[in-house]
Amino acid sequence: MPELPEVEAARRAIEENCLGKKIKRAIIANDSKVIEGVSSVDFESALLGKTIVSAHRKGKNLWLHLDSPPFPSFQFGMAGAIYIKGVAVTKYKRSAVKDNDEWPSKYSKFFVELDDGLELSFTDKRRFARVRLLKDPTSVPPISELGPDALFEPMTINEFTDSLSKKKIGIKALLLDQSYISGIGNWIADEVLYQARIHPLQICSSLSKENCATLHNCIKEVIEKAVEVGADSSQFPSNWIFHSREKKPGKAFVDGKKIDFINAGGRTSAYVPELQKLSGTVATKAAGKPTKQASKKKGGDEAEDNDDDEDGVGDEPTNEEEESTKITKPKKGGNPRGRGRKPPMKRKAKESDDDDDDDDSGGNNDGSSEEDDEDLTEKGRKVKTNTSNKQAKTVKTSKRPVSSQDGKKPKRAK
């Protein structure tokens, strides 16, 4: 979050309340992590006296067209939100401003006052958003790298079906790829796949024409409905999985059917096993492992904790079939004589398993960390060193004559 409907609601609010008005005051936060490529002073001076001509959106990005360039653009990230003082704009889980909070909010990154007194603010509590000042926002990343907008530029059914037939990756991973379709994030992908009765890990090329047509229709219906109600989730249909996808495993149900949580496309994904069956060659390989990882999830907020990566166009979608069959093997070339190599190898194999688990959880750490990895590596070195020292001592000792009751010579150290 936010996804296409939330950003579209913000665009429409600006369009309805701010067009044709001149910017008479501007306050840009001194936050180089969010305000990208320009100082706050230069940003402010570039806005003053300009008139807002129109508001545009592609995918999860929004920009204001002024009467002359450059133009401010907004990549919403995980918690970016547009607020207009005195105007109801859709609020969602991670937006920061409440009606009784200070104004402008302490989380405001972009604030302008218009010539009629109306005030507009873009806030970002978690600082994953990006606000830029660009001569042509559509000609540079991230907007230039986006695929067709899911609302404004939908593929035809034939185009959609043909494109899916050529993709050898999981369907949810593809839907999250902003270079394929822009605007679909984690909750929309879960919703359309549930409505279409398609498993999130189903390989795209294995989908039937009927599956493709149903999914195409569900994408259209879910997005249009969410936009129609201004992205107000309280008005989403009661039979949507959306309302239960953040509940804890074992307590999440939709229409009386249990919701399970797995990893698909690097994201925590809600689906209904009874209705969304995994078929084909990946069915036996990919079904069990993600469910095991899901048992580690606490549900709730973790379902959305990775939403920031939805905005990353460059992320390669995961090949679920390859991931499901990947086996970690110990490296070859170890010391054939030294027994000190064995403990590190065992630790490394375990370490690799932990890494795979982390990958399956979309970056959420389920008990391992880089520090843990370093500790394991260091322990491996100590084991090797200690063993080598023992071997050296044994060899040195064996050179001295040693008597024994049976008169046998001591064995050479191996």
Name the strands in the sheet holding 108-114, side by side, starting at the edge strand that comes first in the sequence.
Answer: 23-28, 108-114, 119-123, 81-84
The residue-averaged pLDDT of 85-111 equals 79
Residue 17 in domain = yes
Q: Is the pLDDT of residue 362 over 50?
A: no
More confident residue, 117 or 343: 117
Q: Identify the pLDDT of residue 354.
A: 37
In the chain, the percentage of residues whose pLDDT exceeds 70 is 65
Q: Is the pLDDT of residue 141 over 80?
A: yes
| Residue 239 CB contacts under 8 Å (≥ 6 apart), including other chains | 254, 255
312-350 b/e (C-beta count within 10 Å ≥ 16 → b): ebebebbbbbebbeeeeeeeeeeeeeeebbebbeebbee
Sequence-ordered alpha helix ranges (H) in 197-295 = 209-228, 283-286, 288-294
Q: Is the pLDDT of residue 176 over 70?
A: yes
Q: Based on the fold, state whether residues 46 and 125 are members of the same structural domain.
A: yes
Q: Based on the fold, state whether residues 227 and 107 are members of the same structural domain.
A: no
Q: Which of 282, 299, 318 is the last residue in one of the domains?
A: 282
Q: Based on the fold, state whether residues 19 and 66 are members of the same structural domain.
A: yes
Instruction: Using pLDDT thresholds of 50, 70 and 90, give the confidence band for residue 282.
Output: low
Instruction: Using pLDDT thresholds of 50, 70 and 90, give the confidence band for residue 47.
Output: very high
- Residue 20 is part of a domain; what is its CATH number? 3.20.190.10
Q: Based on the fold, state whether residues 93 and 22 are members of the same structural domain.
A: yes
Residue 190 in domain = yes
Question: What is the rounded CA–CA span in Å between residue 142 and residue 140?
Answer: 6
By annotation, the residues acting in catalysis are: 2-3, 60
Q: Based on the fold, state whether residues 174 and 251 are members of the same structural domain.
A: yes
Q: Based on the fold, state whether residues 183 and 265 are members of the same structural domain.
A: yes
Q: Identify the pLDDT of residue 371.
A: 38
Q: Identify the pLDDT of residue 296.
A: 40
* Structural domains in the chain (count): 2
Q: Is the pLDDT of residue 121 over 50?
A: yes
Q: Based on the fold, state whether residues 109 and 196 are members of the same structural domain.
A: no
Nearest to 178 by CA among 130, 145, 204: 145
Q: Is the pLDDT of residue 313 over 50?
A: no
Q: Is the pLDDT of residue 173 over 60?
A: yes
Give counts: helices (H), strands (E), the chain: 11, 13
Residue 192: phi and psi, rounded to 5, are -70, -35
Question: What is the rounded CA–CA span in Å between residue 210 and residue 214?
Answer: 6
Q: Which of 252, 282, 312 is the last residue in one of the domains?
A: 282
Q: Identify the pLDDT of residue 97.
A: 67
Residue 254 in domain = yes
Sequence-ordered alpha helix ranges (H) in 288-369 = 288-294, 320-325, 342-360
Region of poorest pLDDT, from 126-140, 162-176, 195-209, 332-346: 332-346
More confident residue, 385 or 81: 81
| Of the ranges 183-192, 321-330, 351-360, the best mean pLDDT one | 183-192
Q: Based on the fold, state whether residues 33 and 123 are members of the same structural domain.
A: yes
Q: Based on the fold, state whether residues 78 and 166 are members of the same structural domain.
A: no
Element (H, E) at 17: helix 4-17
Report DSSP state, residue 171: H
Q: Is the pLDDT of residue 345 over 90?
A: no
Q: Identify the pLDDT of residue 89.
A: 79
Q: Based on the fold, state whether residues 127 and 197 are members of the same structural domain.
A: no
Do residues 271 and 194 make contact, with C-beta atoms less than 8 angstroms apart?
A: yes
5-31 b/e (C-beta count within 10 Å ≥ 16 → b): bbbbbbbbbbeebbeebebeebbbbee
Region of poorest pLDDT, from 27-31, 246-250, 297-301: 297-301
Q: Based on the fold, state whether residues 44 and 128 are members of the same structural domain.
A: yes
The number of angstroms, rounded, from the C-alpha of 274 to the middle of its chain's C-alpha atoms is 26
Rounded (10°) CA dihedral 203, 205, 207, 210:
160
Q: Identify the pLDDT of residue 383.
A: 42
Q: Is the pLDDT of residue 337 over 80?
A: no
Q: Identify the pLDDT of residue 359.
A: 37
Give per-residue pLDDT as tens, 208-227: 999 999 999 999 999 999 99
Q: Which of 102, 119, 134 is the last residue in one of the domains?
A: 134
Residue 67 in domain = yes
Residue 343 in domain = no
- Residue 258 is part of a domain; what is its CATH number? 1.10.8.50
The residue-averaged pLDDT of 323-348 equals 42
Residue-number span of the structural domain to which 226 is assigned: 157-282
The number of angstroms, rounded, from the C-alpha of 166 to the middle of its chain's C-alpha atoms is 24
Residue 207 in domain = yes
Q: Is the pLDDT of residue 270 over 60?
A: yes
Question: What is the rounded CA–CA span in Å between residue 410 and residue 402?
Answer: 7
Q: Is the pLDDT of residue 237 over 70?
A: yes
Q: Identify the pLDDT of residue 286.
A: 52
More confident residue, 89 or 58: 58
Residue 218 in domain = yes
Q: Is the pLDDT of residue 346 over 90?
A: no
The residue-averaged pLDDT of 23-45 equals 97
Question: What is the rounded CA–CA span in Å between residue 406 and residue 140?
Answer: 85
Q: Based on the fold, state whether residues 40 and 95 are members of the same structural domain.
A: yes
Q: Is the pLDDT of residue 401 over 80?
A: no
Residue 100 in domain = yes
Nearest to 94 by CA among 106, 110, 108, 77: 77
